[in-house]
Structure 1
Amino acid sequence: MHLSKVVKGLGITALAALALAGCGKKNDSGGSATAKNDAKVATSGFPIVKSKMSMTLMAPSMGEAEWKDMQVLQDYAKKTGISLKYNTPPNSDFGTKLNLAFASQDLPDIIYAAGTANLTPANEVTYGEQGQLVALEKLIPKYAPNLNKLMKEDPSIAKSITTPDGHIYSLPMLSRGSTSAWYIGPLWYNGEWLKNLGVTELPKTADEFYDLLKRFKTEDPNKNGKADEIPLSDVKLDASRWWLMSIFGLLTNDVQNNGDKVFYTPISNQYKEYLTYMHKLYEEGLLDKDTFSQSDDQKKAKGKADRLGVFQDYYSLFTTGRSQSEAMSDPMWQPLTSSVSKKAVVPGNPRISRGNFAITKNNPSPAAALRWVDYFYSPIGAAYLASGPEGLLWKYETNKAGEKVRVYADGINSENAEEKRSKITPDYGLTVPKLSGSDAKGEAEYKYAIRPSADASPIDDFTKFINSETAKKIDPYATVPFPLIYLTKAEQDSVSATANDLKTFVTQSEAKFITGVTPLSDWDKYVKTIEGMNVKQYVKVYQTAYDRWKSAK
């Protein structure tokens, strides 16, 4: 199992919006008006085009290799008949460069792996309506059969990538792996501490969790004879917040839908209960006093010194410094219930990462571009993008059962595979348009795994542990806090300033309430302040957007 790096960047700039205001025709064609060379595009198999075709592609670079030198892309060009010219600014500059491309109208044919941090939902709405991006929904059934199949199996995909004008302007990465439901890296218990205290069953309620944190603080679970244990720690609660809020039935500190009713969680009674509970932990020294001032490195240093009982990370070993085998003794946090939330719940990932493949008005053949990307929405195509054709990272060998399995190619092993992979494919550190992880049956990620030897298991013990913990402690409880929606330009304009103000005020107030700088007796004053920040209009807009998403066909 390999980690993906989170891609962040800039949103739409005022310059781009101003330069495009009023330019470009409205795109009502669903893509048909731009079908320049589409009649010559094969609807299945390779090559995609008989006569070689060239396109330009703009994408963020992770700096590991020049895209023109990546062997997966070179091989795919031969396979498809489509060659690409690459414009790949550094990932840190990509958002600015993309906005300038729109502002200057110097657009590539394809925008790849931008993500919503760069090709924001607002960008899609604006540039799509202006005709800068090609609408794809009418082309998908014929020229993207793999994606179309996934969309039929999961109607939420089409709902989540369709803008308010009824068009699809960009394609997503679809996650279907064993940990795809993770909203963020989980909370973990220090397994050695549990063992030392004789704890055999994890807490299942807020009160039981509090009691265990008290034991962590007072019973010397790290066995060093010092009162240096920190029961619970994080950095500004930026990661553990979502899990701890879920104890009280909340999945976000923003809008959440309760059934079909949208509400703003930071002014709910459940949120007050969350603050009250967290303040109690802080006052009693159960929540790290440095939570709102320390860096992630400082938190990890405490973990490596065996001072943390409960903490958040992608894997526990990233905080503790332990080996994978040792980390298998650190259980994942069990979702909790409370007096205001009798049913355990945790935030779930929608498993759709938007804004990762868009075709611009300059593209000579949108159909060919769609066929080019659609292969990666199949399990075999996704594996090809991740690890290339046979001979680069892997080769076939026959195991004792007579089955052909993928094993590391000569000179490749678990120690150098990722470094090698970073140089042969763009599917490294970026959110790329593809089917990520397993197929719908949960089999593909194992079938296409690369093994150290023919008879080795395609999945190691640590990965089995992670998958088992996820299946028991996240999958049964995961609920998406709010669906992926688009706002119209008018809606966006009406809430953009409010959203920023609310986020800042709520985050600052959370820290003040928990640390006691602001007493919880000021709750009513806090709520009135938020009500005075146009929150009713904010919720109304998101209720309208939710209703539109819910009714979309």
Structure 2
Amino acid sequence: MKKKLLSIFLCLMMVATLVSGCSKTDGNKKAESQPADSKGASTTDAATDTKGPKKFDDVKLKMLICWNGGFKTASDQYNNEVAKAIREKTGVTVEFEGIMMSETEKLNLMFASGDMPDIINAPYWGGSAGETAVIKKAASEGRLLAIEDLLPNYPNLANSYDVGIVSQSYLENDLNYKGFNGHKYILPQETPGDTADVTNWAYGVFVRGDVPGALGIDPTTIKTADQLYDFMEKAKEHGFKDVNGNDCIVATTYHDGWDSTGYSINFSEKKFSNYVKQADGTYNYIPLTEDYIKRQLFIWKLVNQGLLDVECFKQSDAQADEKVGNGTALFASAQYSSVINSTKLTGLYSAHPEMKYVPVGPMTYKDGQPIVQLEQNGRAGSPAIIFPSTCSNIEAALTYLDYVNSEEGARLCQYGIEGDTYTLNADGQPRLNKDILTRKAAGDSSADDELREKGIGYILGRTLQADKRFTWWGEIGAGDADAAPAEMVAYKIERPVERADGYPLEGLVQNYKDYDKVKKFAFEGTTQKDYEQRAYFAKSEAEARSILEDYQKYLLTQDNGIFKDYLKYVTECANSRDDILD
């Protein structure tokens, strides 16, 4: 009898084991259906309802902000006002950490070591971009969690893949990348919720405000590369000093040479792609053209003549902040907001209002057309949020993101607590308190510091999905409607966003039969940048040209000259449909 009972008991144990085994996730690292607390245990609230966001019991998650330059947060990320309010709604707290190294390098190190946080925010520009390749590889190797079955439960995230919010090509080639085998691993971020919500990044070249006056030059008349060069040369000869009485650098950029292309943009055409139609109807890759060489030689000329900061190609944003914030750099090329933020860090405008950086130009394309910010209808590459396989609680992470992307949650993250830091105007739109707006308008950076300590600003900045801020509130940044720098507002009008329907050529050429081979030597890694920077520091123009021509030879001779066949395919793609954006 004892043997019989033991046999029955063992059978029951085997059945229980089999049932338990069936509930585990598959080999694709697909997210489990039951939520877990910060130690992996299911919450009571979550177990009672399988649809929609749930409230958790004080789950703490770590999020890496994988953007070189660090990430400023409140000194207490758990107890600040905004974090507390989010926790009251969701039961979840996310603490953020930044990096001070190459984004691609950090992603590679992290995925190789397996030492990963719960959530990662990183560049995902699509195509052959370095970070994109690393993330795609990580997903295919099972290092990311798939989220397609969970997204329908989160209404403020579920439309992230809608065409118009993202472009058709981005959706097909990168978000639904064929190597993902039907899974979704990427939450595209900072995409426009509507046309009015498209961010105008306000790229350009900006000059210290006292320079044009001292030289008798109207900066708005600078439209061409030659005019810019003459302007810089006169500034160098004048002998300007920074706020500390030190000699000035004529021109600089931000991290790793971003964005030195602003100085040479007059050599470019108004284009969506890196391919150009030639006189015979065939298409060529822009780095293989003479125009490309001329554009790089212009940067060589700036470096060779002591006009462009020789450190800029390797420096950090912190170093750039110091150079711009102290007025040491007379010219800077980047987004206008970066330049303004650098001056806020030092209070430059308070002590030296005459040094307020103003736009140069805007400059024009090669054919004289005014520069615009070209965009597809729907973003064609974006920052993104991904969830490593180490994520301790995927549903808590999605619940947090869903709430901060609701109108209520986004308002909390951007403006804080009603009555404390903002009130509603007659249209029901949130507006920062007048005393805060006055300080911001005066360039008082301590106002932003105090808001950040309350949890305002930094959370939404790296968690925003489909951006509806302008549609909701009539302003994108807190204070834009009342305290945005007048020069920034005017410059965005001068260099507007221009959207277009159509399918980008880059989206089709990836279907080339040997694209992975071409991508490896032509588009991935730092080979092009390495050749360019060697050329910039060449002793003569002839030497610089020779280096650039060597790069062209490199492209055309790799893998038995496969690039020539690839360009034939590019031409076929360009002629394959009527709505190509090239």
> Which TM-score band (shorter chain)?
0.5 to 0.7
1:377 corresponds in structure 2 to: 405
Paired residues of 1:189 and 1:330 also in contact (CA < 8 A) = yes
Q: Which amino acid aligns with 1:206?
A: A
2:266 corresponds in structure 1 to: 247
SS at structure 2 position matched to 1:471 = helix
Within 5 Å, give how 1:14-53 maps onto structure 2.
25-27=26-28, 34-36=32-34, 41=49, 48-49=53-54, 52=56
Please say if 1:144 is aligned against 2:144: no
Please say if 1:312 is aligned against 2:333: yes
Paired residues of 1:172 and 1:355 also in contact (CA < 8 A) = yes
Q: Percent identity?
A: 18
Residue segments in structure 2 that go unaligned for 5+ positions in a row? 1-24, 36-45, 65-70
Between the aligned partners of 1:293 and 1:129, the Cα distance in structure 2 is: 33
Paired residues of 1:243 and 1:346 also in contact (CA < 8 A) = no
| Deviation by residue 1:148-196 (Cα, 9 ceiling, x = unmatched) | 178354232645533333432132331559893438x531134433334
Which residue among 390, 408, 418 is the counterpart of 2:418?
A: 390
2:121 corresponds in structure 1 to: 113
CA displacement at 1:363 relative to structure 2 = 6.1
CA displacement at 1:279 relative to structure 2 = 4.6
Q: 1:309 to 1:167 in 2, by over 3 A?
A: same
Q: 1:312 to 1:111 in 2, by over 3 A?
A: same
1:468 corresponds in structure 2 to: 490
Q: Which amino acid aligns with 1:335?
A: M
Paired residues of 2:208 and 2:331 also in contact (CA < 8 A) = yes
Please say if 1:428 is aligned against 2:458: yes
Paired residues of 2:250 and 2:331 also in contact (CA < 8 A) = yes
Between the aligned partners of 2:134 and 2:521, the Cα distance in structure 1 is: 17
CA displacement at 1:359 relative to structure 2 = 6.7
Paired residues of 2:157 and 2:465 also in contact (CA < 8 A) = no
Between the aligned partners of 2:549 and 2:105, the Cα distance in structure 1 is: 42
Within 5 Å, give how 1:339-488 maps onto structure 2.
341-345=367-371, 353-358=382-387, 360=389, 366=395, 369-390=397-418, 394-396=421-423, 405-408=430-433, 416-425=446-455, 428=458, 432-435=462-465, 439=469, 441=471, 444=473, 446=475, 449=478, 458-460=481-483, 462=485, 464-473=486-495, 475-476=497-498
Between the aligned partners of 1:515 and 1:40, the Cα distance in structure 2 is: 73
Which residue among 307, 326, 331 is the counterpart of 1:287?
A: 307
Between the aligned partners of 1:26 and 1:541, the Cα distance in structure 2 is: 35
Paired residues of 1:346 and 1:478 also in contact (CA < 8 A) = no
Q: 1:36 to 1:344 in 2, by over 3 A?
A: same
Q: Which amino acid aligns with 1:460?
A: A
2:290 corresponds in structure 1 to: 269
Please say if 1:59 is aligned against 2:63: yes
Q: Which amino acid aligns with 1:49?
A: K
Q: 1:303 to 1:402 in 2, by over 3 A?
A: closer
Between the aligned partners of 1:437 and 1:207, the Cα distance in structure 2 is: 39
Q: Which amino acid aligns with 1:111?
A: I
Between the aligned partners of 2:528 and 2:144, the Cα distance in structure 1 is: 31
CA radius of gyration, larger in? 2
SS at structure 2 position matched to 1:69 = coil
Paired residues of 1:246 and 1:346 also in contact (CA < 8 A) = no
Q: 1:473 to 1:510 in 2, by over 3 A?
A: farther
Paired residues of 2:372 and 2:496 also in contact (CA < 8 A) = yes
CA displacement at 1:520 relative to structure 2 = 3.0
2:42 corresponds in structure 1 to: none
Q: Which amino acid aligns with 1:528?
A: K
Paired residues of 1:278 and 1:514 also in contact (CA < 8 A) = no
Between the aligned partners of 2:429 and 2:325, the Cα distance in structure 1 is: 42
Equivalent pairs, count:
494
Paired residues of 1:388 and 1:425 also in contact (CA < 8 A) = yes
2:86 corresponds in structure 1 to: 76
CA displacement at 1:466 relative to structure 2 = 0.6
Q: 1:205 to 1:529 in 2, by over 3 A?
A: same
Between the aligned partners of 2:499 and 2:225, the Cα distance in structure 1 is: 16
CA displacement at 1:419 relative to structure 2 = 3.0
Paired residues of 1:229 and 1:307 also in contact (CA < 8 A) = yes
Q: As a proportion of its length, which structure holds more helix? A: 2
Q: Which amino acid aligns with 2:257?
A: D
SS at structure 2 position matched to 1:121 = helix
Within 5 Å, give how 1:117-196 maps onto structure 2.
120-145=131-156, 147-148=158-159, 151-156=162-167, 158-159=171-172, 160-164=174-178, 165=180, 166-174=182-190, 180-182=199-201, 186-196=204-214
Q: Which amino acid aligns with 2:333?
A: Q
Q: Which amino acid aligns with 2:488?
A: I
2:536 corresponds in structure 1 to: 511
Between the aligned partners of 1:88 and 1:407, the Cα distance in structure 2 is: 25
Which residue among 205, 222, 225 is the counterpart of 1:206?
A: 225
CA displacement at 1:270 relative to structure 2 = 1.2
SS at structure 2 position matched to 1:354 = strand
Between the aligned partners of 2:540 and 2:373, the Cα distance in structure 1 is: 25
Residue segments in structure 1 that go unaligned for 5+ positions in a row? 1-23, 451-456
Q: Which amino acid aligns with 2:268?
A: G
| Deviation by residue 1:122-156 (Cα, 9 ceiling, x = unmatched) | 45434433555332335434523455178354232
After TM superposition, the score normalised by the length of structure 1 is: 0.66
Q: Which amino acid aligns with 1:394?
A: T
Q: 1:167 to 1:54 in 2, by over 3 A?
A: farther
Q: Which amino acid aligns with 1:249?
A: S
Say what the alpha-carbon RMSD is for the aligned residues.
Answer: 5.7
SS at structure 2 position matched to 1:59 = strand
Paired residues of 1:206 and 1:337 also in contact (CA < 8 A) = no
Please, which moves more after superposition, 200-209 or 259-268?
259-268
Q: 1:371 to 1:202 in 2, by over 3 A?
A: same
Paired residues of 1:193 and 1:309 also in contact (CA < 8 A) = yes
Between the aligned partners of 1:41 and 1:536, the Cα distance in structure 2 is: 59
SS at structure 2 position matched to 1:187 = strand
CA displacement at 1:58 relative to structure 2 = 2.5
| Deviation by residue 1:92-112 (Cα, 9 ceiling, x = unmatched) | 59999988986787876x414
Between the aligned partners of 2:315 and 2:33, the Cα distance in structure 1 is: 52
CA displacement at 1:199 relative to structure 2 = 3.7
Q: Which amino acid aligns with 1:34?
A: E
Between the aligned partners of 1:102 and 1:42, the Cα distance in structure 2 is: 31
Between the aligned partners of 1:521 and 1:244, the Cα distance in structure 2 is: 22
| Deviation by residue 1:288-340 (Cα, 9 ceiling, x = unmatched) | 485679968998888789786543352268479444954567224412233xx
Which residue among 255, 268, 274 is the counterpart of 1:256?
A: 274
Q: 1:207 to 1:105 in 2, by over 3 A?
A: closer
Between the aligned partners of 2:323 and 2:154, the Cα distance in structure 1 is: 53
Q: Which amino acid aligns with 2:89?
A: K
Between the aligned partners of 1:214 and 1:410, the Cα distance in structure 2 is: 43
Paired residues of 2:206 and 2:357 also in contact (CA < 8 A) = no
Q: Which amino acid aligns with 1:473?
A: R
Paired residues of 1:356 and 1:431 also in contact (CA < 8 A) = no
